[in-house]
Amino acid sequence: MNIRPVLKEDASHIQTVARQSWNAAYGNIYPQSFIDEFVSKAYSVDSLEQGAERDEQRAERHFYVCEAEGSIIAFAQVMSQEAAGEYELLRIYVQPERQNAGAGRLLLSNFLTTMPHMNKLVAWVEDKNEQGRRFYERSGFTETSQMVEKHEHFETQLIEYTWQR
């Protein structure tokens, strides 16, 4: 597996991984219409292309992909917070059939080794996303808070996980 910064040309591949991952992770949690609408907006090719270009120019955001056998199988993005050395993991997703093979851990490790000034990393995960929660717990994150997220026709419980150097 190879980790590298995202390129504009990666947008459609990231969109595919996002769609597969969201359906696998949230298919039993969120209504399908919500998943479809969210992925089409948050992971549109235009949005991802603009994000790749923007992140390349900004020191506070970092977006990487993981490749295996020439294909993108995972991606992750972090953004610095107001406090020095504090970051939020905005997204990390791995193709469902490639989960538990090390891609997610490799992406996290990349951030931690290439960003030695990172001393705190926060991630939010749906409380019913058991696989996501196990990933954070196995990666050294601890549960630090919870919040309710309200959507138009439903609400969900999110858990904040924090990793500290």
Short-list 39, 24, 163, CA closest to 105: 163
Confidence category of residue 126, pLDDT binned at 50, 70, 90: very high
Q: How many CA atoms lie within 13 A of 96 on its CB side?
A: 11
Q: Is residue 19 part of a domain?
A: yes
Q: What is the Cα–Cα distance from 101 to 106, expressed in whole angstroms?
A: 10
Structural domains counted in the chain: 1
What six digits make up the tokens of 49? 């292309």
Establish if 23 belongs to a structural domain: yes
pTM above 0.85, yes or no: yes
In a domain, 133, yes or no: no
Percentage of the chain modeled with pLDDT above 90? 73
The domain of 8 spans: 2-122
